[in-house]
Structure formats: C-alpha cells, structure tokens
Structure 1
Amino acid sequence: MRLFVALYPPTEVVTHVGAYADRLRIGQAAADGVNVRRASADNLHVTLAFIGDVEDGRLPDVRDALGRAAQGWRTPSRRRGTTRTRRPARPAELPGSAELSRPADWSCPVEPARPAEPVVPEPGAEADLVVSEPVVSEAVAAEAGAAPVVARLRLAGGGRFGRGRFTVLWVGLDGDVDALALVSDAVRTELRRARVPYDRRPLRPHLTLARPGERLTRAAVNADLVELAGYVGPWWPLAEMVLMRSHPGPRPTYDRLGSWPL
C-alpha cells in the first residue's frame, strides 16, 4: 500500500482557496473543459511525510509510530523553548524565475499577533529572525495552568514546480511553519525508529492546486504565478495529522486510515 502523512485544512480554508483558484487561468481553463488537473477539493492537503509503498503487515507499525509522534508533540518537554519566525523580506519582481519554484525560498512565517502580507523574497535575501512565544497545545497549557498559544497556519503565496509538461502550481504556507516542521520531524523520527522507510527529502510545505503541464501557455502560467504570490487565506489551527493511502492512476483515489490530534 502507498502511504503518506498529511494535514487537511478545514472546509472554509479549502473553499476560500478554491474560489481564488477559480478566478485564475487554471480555473478558467478548467471551466472551458481543459484538463489542467485541478486537485479535487476533498484532497487538498499539505504533506508532512511521504512514506511510499509499505507491506500491509507493517501498517500497525506505521500507526504506532504516528501515535508516538503525536504524543511526543503534545508533551511539554518536546515543546520546550521557542519557535523562530521570519520577518517578510522585500518583494521581488514577478513573474519570478527560480525563486518561485521552491516553497522554502519564499515562505516567510509571521508572528500570529502581528500578521503581515506574504511576499516573495529576492533570491539570497536575508530575513531578520525574531523569537515568538512557545507553541503549546490547549491541553498541555491547561495542565500547566498557562494560557495556550495555539500554532496557526494559513495558505499564502504560491509558485511553480517544474517546467513544460511537468508544470505544477502550488500555494504555500504562512504562520507557525516552524511548528509544522517540528511535527514533520517527530513523524520522521518515529518512522525511522520503527524501521519504516520514507522519503527523506526536506519538508517543503505546500498545497498543490493543479498540474497543468503544457495545457496552459507560458504567459498564462506566469500570470497565475503573479496572482498566487499575493494570495492570503484564513488562519486555521494546527490540530490534526492524518495517515492516507493513495491509489495512483488517471483518477487517483485516497483512503483515510487514521488521524491523531496535535
């Protein structure tokens, strides 16, 4: 079975970004019957870890690993210290070149109390680091008698992977992205301890919107990149991770195999 671990945004977040995508060239092309391979609304997700093909008998090991990762995330000793966020850098000219192809290049988390509009930094631009409050779950905070500081995310900005027939358009994440990275690290650590193989490439948090390939002109893709760079969606809490099974094919399907609160 083919497995991955993901975050699924709430319905209002999916509705918001879907309506925005409808107004882009990919949305107009889809409405005209062009197969730009828009991601279905019920499968818009952010991948935390891609596990890949796993023998059926190892599913309990995967479940146990994810349970330990979630429990570790909710434990105060694993949440000690602070998270680091970045101040947005000066916007670059668009449409971008290489800087729009990697979420890590533009993703600029902001302090939840003072949100800023997402921007695409110039290649190589340095962003000032600031220290935010510790990210603590409501349950952990209640036990400690402290006010909770819930990790929050929002979809913001966007870019492209690949070129030509491999073109993929995505939306990025903003907010407590470092907290998201800690969850991903916890998942990968427990998978490794359970000797479950997984894709070890670095986390690049994003949500795939469409895979238009060469079905859109270069000008249309560049125009969508300009629009995506200014997208800002609603906030939502980092609350749950989900284990999914994918069935690849021309019309891939997905099964939900379990979920764990964060």
Structure 2
Amino acid sequence: MRLFAAVLPPARAVDELREAVRALPADGRLRWTGEAGWHFTLAFMGEVDDRVLPDLRERLRRAAAHTDPFGLRLHGCGHFGDRALWAGAAGELDSLRMLAERADAAARRAGVPMEQHRRYTPHLTLARCREAVDLRPYLEALGPFEGTRWQVGELSLVRSNLPVSGVPGERPRYEVVAAWPLGGGA
C-alpha cells in the first residue's frame, strides 16, 4: 500500500485556509488539491510491503512517543518552481522538522526504501499544474495569511489511494490507517 507519515491540521485550521483559498483568482490550469488532502507530509514512503508494516507501525509509535506536542499554525504560502503552490507553517518548526526526521528514520529502519534525504520544508500543497503558471497573484494574495495556532498532538500514517477511474479531475483519496499521540499520551 502507498503510505506516508503526516501531521493533519484540525478542522478549524482547514476552515480558515478554505476561506483564504476561496478568495483566490481562478485559473483553469491549476489543479487544486481537495481539503481532504490537506496535510503536512513528514515522510513519503511510497509502496510499502505488508511484511514491514508491523515494524513500521512500532517505530512510528516510538517516534511519536519521543516527540512532545507542539504549537503550529498555517502561515503564508510558497511555491516549488512554477508548478506547485503551497501554504506554509509557523510556530514550533524545529519540533515539526524533528518529527519529520524521526518518521523518516523509522521508515528506513523498518526497511522501507526511502528517497535521498533532504532538509524538510513544511508545506501543505494547495495546487499543482502541468504547465508553467504565473503564481505571483496567488503568492501575493496568500502571503499575509495567518491561521490560528493549534497544538499538534498526533502523528498519522496515511494511505494514499491514487485515482484509477480515469475520470478527469478525480483526486487521490486519503485514509488514516494508524495514529499515535505525541509524547506517549493515551
């Protein structure tokens, strides 16, 4: 199954971001991600063999237990080249980065082949495009966005179900398959 570790924003944060995104200019070349897909990916694992799942789950549980809850908020925006627009994060980013490092290490130690390691950039993908798009109007509009602070208290293991119908505009579906409290809480 196709998996990744993530921090999921609470409903209030999603509501605030939805309102900000709703005010953005329309451009049919952008493929907007659905709200159900708004998350901070910590470690993308791709296809994971069922045989490593028990060890992976245990290692992710330990990674969560070794990370204290921390404050985060959606903040501003950014882009990857001219093909992806994202919302950023502010708050205890060192804690978010540490959780990402621990999730990546947990996957590697469980035997999941991971991509080459690079510094974690906290982002929540809002839109992608196949061709170059001038993202400046979106960056200017979302740049001052400040969401309400929330307490991150959980690490989630999420399954990504890619579209298979061939219907234009179909989006991946995401399903939380396991979650662990940060700091070893119940």
Cα separation, 1, equivalents of 2:139 and 2:148: 20
8 A contact 2:36–2:174 mirrored in 1: no
8 A contact 2:33–2:171 mirrored in 1: no
Q: Identical aligned pairs, as a percentage? A: 38
Deviation (angstroms), 1:194: 2.4
Cα offsets for 1:226-259 (capped at 9, x unmatched): 1222111111111111101112234311221100
Question: Which of 81, 87, 91 is the equivalent residue of 1:175?
Answer: 91
Gaps of 5+ in 2: 164-169
Question: Which of 36, 39, 49 is the equivalent residue of 1:42?
Answer: 36
Gaps of 5+ in 1: 75-136, 138-150
Larger Rg: 1
Deviation (angstroms), 1:35: 6.2
> Structure 2 length as normaliser, TM-score?
0.86
Cα offsets for 1:123-166 (capped at 9, x unmatched): xxxxxxxxxxxxxx5xxxxxxxxxxxxx2111111111132xxx
Cα offsets for 1:75-133 (capped at 9, x unmatched): xxxxxxxxxxxxxxxxxxxxxxxxxxxxxxxxxxxxxxxxxxxxxxxxxxxxxxxxxxx
Residue 19 of structure 2 corresponds to residue 13 of structure 1: no
> Structure 1 length as normaliser, TM-score?
0.62
Counterpart AA for 1:72: H
Give the structure with the higher percent strand: 2
Residue 91 of structure 2 corresponds to residue 59 of structure 1: no
Cα separation, 1, equivalents of 2:180 and 2:36: 19
Structure 1 runs of 4+ off > 6 angstroms?
A: none
Residue 65 of structure 2 corresponds to residue 71 of structure 1: yes
**Mapping of residues 100-119 of structure 1, within 5 Å:** none
Higher RCO (CA 8 Å, separation ≥ 6 residues) = 2
Cα separation, 1, equivalents of 2:21 and 2:129: 13
Partner of 1:159: 78
Task: Give me the CA root mean square deviation.
Answer: 1.8
